[in-house]
Amino acid sequence: MQYGYFDDLKREYVITDPRTPWPWINYLGNEDFFSLISNTAGGYSFYKDAKFRRITRYRYNNVPMDSGGKYFYIRDEDTVWNPGWKPCKTTLDAYECRHGMGYTVIRGSKNGIEAEVLCFVPLKTQAEVQKLTLRNQSGTTKKLKLFSFVEWCLWNAATDMENFQRNFSTGEVEVDGSVIYHKTEYRERRNHYAYYSVNQPVDGYDTDRETFFGLYNGFDEPQTVMDGAPRNSVAHGWSPVASHCLEINLDPGESKELVFVLGYVENAQDEKWESRNIINKDKAKATIARFDTAGKVDEAFAGLRAYWDNLLSNFNVRTPEEKLDRMVNTWNQYQCMITFCFSRSASYFESGIGRGMGFRDSNQDLIGFVHQIPERARQRIIDIASTQFPDGACYHQYQPLTKKGNNEIGQGFNDDPLWLILGTTAYIKETGDFAILDEPVPFDNVPGSEVPLFGHLTVSFDHVVNNLGPHGLPLIGRADWNDCLNLNCFSSDPDESFQTTENKTEGSKAESLMIAGLFTVYGRDYAELCKRLGRDEEAARAQKHVDAMVDAVTKSGWDGEWFLRAYDYFGNKIGSRENEEGQIFIESNGWCSMAGIGLGEGLVEKALDSVKERLDCEHGIVLNQPAYTEYHIGYGEISSYPPGYKENAGIFCHNNPWIIIGETVLGRGDRAWEYFRKICPSYTEPISDLHKVEPYVYAQMIAGKDAFRPGEAKNSWLTGTAAWNFYAVSQYILGIRPAYDRLEIDPCISPEWKTYGVTRKFRGATYHITVNNPGGKMKGVSSVIVNGKPVEGNVVPVQPAGSVCEVEVIL
C-alpha cells in the first residue's frame, strides 16, 4: 500500500494520508539552524547541536507516537482542527503534505476553510519561517480563532528530561507585542535566547504550558483552545510555551497570509541587555523584519529553491529506469546533504543527545556530497582530522557545537583512522585541491600540535601497520565498522554499554578481515597519492605493507568459499564454516572483494557467489548467517539482538553497496543492479505499509529473513547507506568516476540497458556523457569520443573551467 506519490517535476514527495505507518519526516535548514518536521507537523528545532542548543521540546518513544511539534489550532465555531490532522485528529475534508528540498508544505481543509502552512529555514538565517495561508472556500463569512503553539525546551535536551527540581523553577519569558521570547537561564550563564513571532497584532497569548493546556489535557484538547479564550499567561518557572491567538474574519473567497518566525539569537556578553533584565532584541527584530510580509517570505523561498536546483545540477542522470532517475537526481543526493549536516545525531531514531558527529560516519558521508559543496567538505575534513591523536587513533565522535572529541565514547575503534584517507582522497579527486594536504591540523585540538594534513594520513595508515595481530591482520580494537562485533568486551552486565565498557585489548588476538580489506583499498589510495606528490619512498613503503596485507588475507583469511570475518580474542575463527552460527558475514566479503584480493585465483567470484547463495533474500543482503540464537559473550552486542534485526542477520543497508561494488569488480552488472533495486526506496514504495519508514530516503536497517516481519525498515535518513548507495550507483554502476587528473568512465550495467546519459559538473566544466550499449554488454568500454575526437582508453581529460564537453561512450 502507498500513502502518497513522487512529484518529480517539483522534487517533492506528496503524502495524501496523514496516517502513515511511521512519521514521515523532512529536514529544514542546511547550515546551523535546523528543524525536523513530520507529515503531521511534529518535530523540533535546534541550533547546531540537538543536545546543547535544543530550542523546542520533543518526546521520543511517546504514546501516541510523534506527539509534540509546531501546531496551528483553528477554531471554527465549535470545531477545532489542525492543517496536519494531528494533534486534534479531527477528520479533515482534504489533506496533503509535500516534503521538498529543505521545505515542507502541509495543507488541510475543513468546513470550507483551507489552511496551508509552508515551513522552511531561509538561507543564512537562524530561524524557521512559517507562512500560514487561510482561504475561505465556503459561501459564508467565517469568524475563526487561530492559536499557534510551540513548547520551549530548556536548552540542554538531556537535562531537560532529568533535572526537574531545577527546571521547574528556571523558566523565563518576555512578551513584547506579537513576539514571545524564551530567555530561560539567559540572565545567568547563557548568551542566547529564542523567540516566536507573528506579523500582525495578536488578540492574546499564552506562555505557561499548564495554563494553555490545563493540567490534565493533552495536545489534542488544549483548554485555552477549547474555550476559545487565551489567558495571557506569563510563565514563571514550570514549563514555558509560546502561543499566539488571532481572531480572523474571512469573507467568501477571501484569503489571509500570516508569517510566523521561530528564531535563535546569540549576543556578545557586553550586548546582552537592553535595560535591566530586558534582553537585547535587536538581532531578533532584524530577522523578523526580513520576513514581515508574505512577499518577503516568497522571495526567500525562491532563493532556497534556486539553491537546491544548483546543488542538484552537479550530477544528473537519464536512464531507462524512472525510479532510478528520481533517486539519483533528487532524493539520494538530498539525503546525502542531510547526513553531511547531521551525521547520526538527530532523526526520529536518534535523539540528538547521545551521539555527535562520527569520525567514521562523517568521512563516509563525504563521498556522497563532495561534488555538491566541496568547500564545506574541505572544512569538514579538517574538523575531523583535528580530533585525531598523534598515534593515528581518533575520537569515535565529536560534538558539532565545539568540534572537540567526545570523551564519553572515547576511541579504540580500529577502522576509524582509515576513513580519513577515503574522505581526503575523495575530496582531492573531486577538486584537484592538493593544497589541503599542507593545511596545519592539530592533534586532539591542542594548539601547537599542528602538522600538515598529510601527516594525519600517514599516522592513519600506520595505525593499522602498528596494530597487527598474530596472523598479520589488523587488530580490531573496540570494534571495526560493525560497532556491535565486540570481541574485547565480555560484558555480562546489562547496565553497561557494549561500546563504552572496558576495552580488554591487552593480550587480545582479535583481528578483523573487514579492516584488512579496507586497509588494502585505501592503503593503495594512500600509496597512489604519495606518488602524485613525488614521495616515492613513502609510496614504496606503503605498497609493501599493502602487499603484505594481501598475503595475510590470502593465507589466513580465506575459509574455502568465502572470506572469514574475524579472529576472536583467543584466536578462534569468526565467519567460518567451523562456526555453528554466524558462518558468513557481509563486511569482509564486501571489502576483500572491493580490494580484488585473490581476483585472479577466483576468490572474489567464489566469495560473492557465497554471498548470493547464503545472504541474499527478497529485501536485500543480510549481514550474517545463520543468525545468532543465543548470546555469545565473546562476540558482544551482535548476538544480543533477536534474529533478523540490526547486526544479527538484519539487512544492514549501509554495507549492501560494498557487495554491489564488489560485483562490478567482477563485471556482473546484472547482479549489481539486482542488489541495488532491492533496497532502493523508490522501488520499495509499493510496500510502504510493510516497510514503514519514508519511501523517499534510505533506511539503515531492513528486517532480514529470520525476523518476525521481514522487510520492515528502521533508522531512516541518518545512515551511511545514503552516501554509499550514491557512490556505488554513480561511480560503479553508471561508472562516472573522478580521479586526480581526469574522469574515468567505467560502467557496469544491466545488459538490458541500451543507452543512458549523465550530466556531470566537474572542476568548473560540464560534461554531457552518453553511454551506448548496442551489444547488450555489462562492462567494458570499447571507445570514448570527446568533443568529436577519440581518446585513448576510458578516460576523459579535465576540461577548461566554464567549458561544455560532449562525451560519447560505446560499451
Instruction: For the chain, report the end-to-end CA distance as a whole number of angstroms.
Output: 39
**Residue 212 near residue 145 (C-beta atoms within 8 A):** no
For 181-207, write each residue's pLDDT tens digit.
Answer: 999 999 988 999 999 999 999 999 999
So what's the pLDDT on residue 599?
97
So what's the pLDDT on residue 718?
95
The pLDDT-based confidence of 269 (bands split at 50, 70, 90) is: very high
Residue type for 339, please?
Answer: T
Q: How far is it, in rounded angstroms, from Cα 413 to Cα 396?
A: 7
**Mean pLDDT in residue range 154-170:** 89
**Residue 41 near residue 133 (C-beta atoms within 8 A):** no
Please report where in the chains the cell 523584519 appears, as a residue: 289
**Per-residue pLDDT for 323 more than 90?**
yes
For 389-414, write each residue's pLDDT tens digit.
Answer: 999 999 888 888 788 887 677 788 99
**Mean pLDDT in residue range 681-705:** 97
What CA–CA distances, in Å, run from 133 to 72, 105, 200, 294? 11, 11, 14, 9
Please report where in the chains the cell 556522497 appears, as a residue: 368
Least confident of 72-86, 159-173, 253-267: 159-173
In the residue annotation, 49 being an active-site residue is answered as no
Residue type for 423, please?
Answer: G
Residue 133 region, left (φ>0) first, then alpha (ψ -120 to 50), else beta? beta
**Mean pLDDT in residue range 246-270:** 98
Rounded to the nearest integer, the mean pLDDT of the chain is: 96
If you count DSSP H runs as helices and E runs as strands, how many of each does the chain have, helices first?
A: 20, 44
Residue type for 88, please?
Answer: C
**Per-residue pLDDT for 354 more than 80?**
no
**Residue 110 near residue 93 (C-beta atoms within 8 A):** yes
**Mean pLDDT in residue range 684-690:** 96
So what's the pLDDT on residue 201?
98
Q: Is the dihedral of CA 205, 206, 211, 215 positive or negative?
A: positive
**Residue 175 near residue 189 (C-beta atoms within 8 A):** no
Q: Let me know how long the chain is.
A: 811
| Chain centre to alpha carbon of residue 295 | 32
DSSP symbol at 730? I
Rg of the chain over Cα atoms, rounded to whole angstroms, equals: 28
Selection from 607, 423, 429 nearest residue 514 by Cα:
607
Question: What is the pTM for the complete model shown?
Answer: 0.97
What CA–CA distances, in Å, run from 24 to 13, 14, 17, 140, 308? 10, 11, 11, 36, 21
> What does the block give as the cell for 311?
546543488
The pLDDT-based confidence of 280 (bands split at 50, 70, 90) is: very high
Q: How far is it, in rounded angstroms, from Cα 248 to Cα 133?
A: 12
- Of residues 489 and 252, more confidence is placed in 252
The pLDDT-based confidence of 258 (bands split at 50, 70, 90) is: very high
**Residue 104 near residue 110 (C-beta atoms within 8 A):** no
> What is the longest distance spanned by two Cα atoms in the chain?
85
For 638-656, write each residue's pLDDT tens digit.
Answer: 999 999 999 999 999 999 9
The pLDDT-based confidence of 505 (bands split at 50, 70, 90) is: confident
**Per-residue pLDDT for 355 more than 80?**
no
**Mean pLDDT in residue range 454-473:** 98
Peptide bond into 626 cis (omega under 30): yes
So what's the pLDDT on residue 356?
78
For 581-630, write each residue's pLDDT tens digit.
Answer: 999 999 999 999 999 999 999 999 999 999 999 999 999 999 999 999 99
Show the CA angle centred on residue 338, arms to residues 675 and 411, nearest 5°: 85
So what's the pLDDT on residue 493?
87
> What does the block give as the cell for 623?
549481514
Selection from 434, 296, 449 nearest residue 385 by Cα:
449
DSSP symbol at 456? H
**Residue 131 near residue 106 (C-beta atoms within 8 A):** no
Kindly give the interhelix angle for 416-431 and 374-385, rounded to the nearest 10 degrees.
Answer: 150
Catalytic residue among 49, 160, 415, 483: 483
For 740-778, write each residue's pLDDT tens digit.
Answer: 999 999 999 999 999 999 999 999 999 999 999 999 999
